[in-house]
């Protein structure tokens, strides 16, 4: 069975940028529901419980059509949130000099990366995710709808932001731009760089 991974920090660790109540409901209710739904959907296909989430998504074509997309959506929900919690942390406001040099060479400067990523996150119509991915050894910005994921694909994600309303509505209501702006203060650059240098 799939399990809900614990948050790598306390619910209030990302205050004041992301509030305790949002983190609590987001992790314990939304993320937990994706885990529960996924396990429930696979009740009659227990072999799937032994797979990684990436493999569940890749192998979903073997499942009956009536549950296939639901499995993909819920497995995506689990894997995306596992990744999202890990790329946030308190107190790391900017990348290391080494990674900053890579950002500068590929985007011009850090502000341009932030602007392009923010535009992708703001421009994602409805629910979804914006991503910084490594594609053919180049950093690129992209976005996905709903719980579609970049994890397990050809381009490898190093950073993501959840722009479903449940990620920000309690504190920021409809002001997605304010949430994204605040979120930059809690990006876990140590994790982003670890992912990047493990891929390059």
Q: Which residues bind Mn ion (CB under 5 A)?
A: 162, 164, 167
What are the tokens at 181?
């702006």
Nearer to Mn ion, 103 or 167 (CB): 167
Tell me the closest approach of the beta carbon of residue 153 to Mn ion, in angstroms.
19
Instruction: Give residue number: closest CB to Mn ion.
Output: 162
Q: How far is the CB of 198 from Mn ion (least distance, A)?
A: 25
**Closest distance between Mn ion and the C-beta of residue 28, in Å?**
12
CB of 65 to Mn ion, least distance (A): 26
- The Cα–Cα gap between 184 and 102 comes to 18
Contacts of residue 173, Cβ cutoff 8 Å, sequence gap at least 6: none
Quick one: 31 or 99, whose CB is closer to Mn ion?
A: 31
Q: Which is nearer to Mn ion, 11 or 164 (CB)?
A: 164
Q: Looking at beta carbons only, is 12 or 165 nearer to Mn ion?
A: 165
DSSP-assigned states of every residue in 15-63: TTTS-HHHHHHIIIIIIHHHHHHHHHHTTT-GGGGGS-HHHHHHHGGGS
The gap from C-alpha 21 to its chain's centroid, in whole angstroms, comes to 19
């Amino acid at each position: 069975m799939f399990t809900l991974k614990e948050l790598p920090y306390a619910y209030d660790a990302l205050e004041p940028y992301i509030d305790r109540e949002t983190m609590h409901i987001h992790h314990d209710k939304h993320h937990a529901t994706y885990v529960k739904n996924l396990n429930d959907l696979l009740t009659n296909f227990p072999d799937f419980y032994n797979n990684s989430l990436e493999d569940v998504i890749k192998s979903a074509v073997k499942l009956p059509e009536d549950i296939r997309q639901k499995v993909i959506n819920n497995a995506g929900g689990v894997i995306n949130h596992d990744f999202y919690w890990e790329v946030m942390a308190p107190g790391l406001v900017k990348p290391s000099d080494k990674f900053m040099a890579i950002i500068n060479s590929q985007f011009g400067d850090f502000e341009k990366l932030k602007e392009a990523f923010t535009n992708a996150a703001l421009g994602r119509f409805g629910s979804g995710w914006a991503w910084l991915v490594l594609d053919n050894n180049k950093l690129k910005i992209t976005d996905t709808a709903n719980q579609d994921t970049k994890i397990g694909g050809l381009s490898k994600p190093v950073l993501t932001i959840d722009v479903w309303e449940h990620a920000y509505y309690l504190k920021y209501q409809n002001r997605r731009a304010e949430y994204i702006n605040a979120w930059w203060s809690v990006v876990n650059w140590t994790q982003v760089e670890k992912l990047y240098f493990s891929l390059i």
